[in-house]
Structure 1
Amino acid sequence: MAERTQENGVAAGFPVVEVNPQPQKGLASKLIDCLEKLIMNLMCDTSQSHPFLSGNFAPVLEETAPVKDLPVEGHLPVSTP
């Protein structure tokens, strides 16, 4: 593959575009934020726990010691060149 180098704002014949987004802080942005908060408050059921913080995804409170001899079942697939 050809190496692309940047010289004077042009990388291998392609112009370099710098993206620097500036968030809007106007009235429309604030109204959208309020509407989003209202919808989230109406749609979310706070009586249930968060799905990413329960069950198998719950935070671990204690760390287990490492194990050297774990039983292994199955085999590795044969790699093809």
Structure 2
Amino acid sequence: MSLVFSEETHRNMLSRIPHCTGREISDWLRAVEEGPALIRFEEKVSWLRSEHNLAYGHAKAIVHEYDLRRAARRLL
């Protein structure tokens, strides 16, 4: 699934997540990494929403960031 937010909106959303959730982005990325082995983007978003009670936009931004960083690691 493609990200509907612009890159600027994505960055702004990420910057607000620690204030809104009380956890740093690195904590959320680790939660996705250590969570269930879900393949589809929306499955990961749904898991974050149900397991951690996140808003849809926050969950979506976290999963997108996780996917971006994972893809960047593969390129190295």
Q: TM-score range by the shorter chain?
A: under 0.3
Q: Which one has a bigger Cα radius of gyration?
A: 1
TM-score normalized with structure 2 length = 0.26
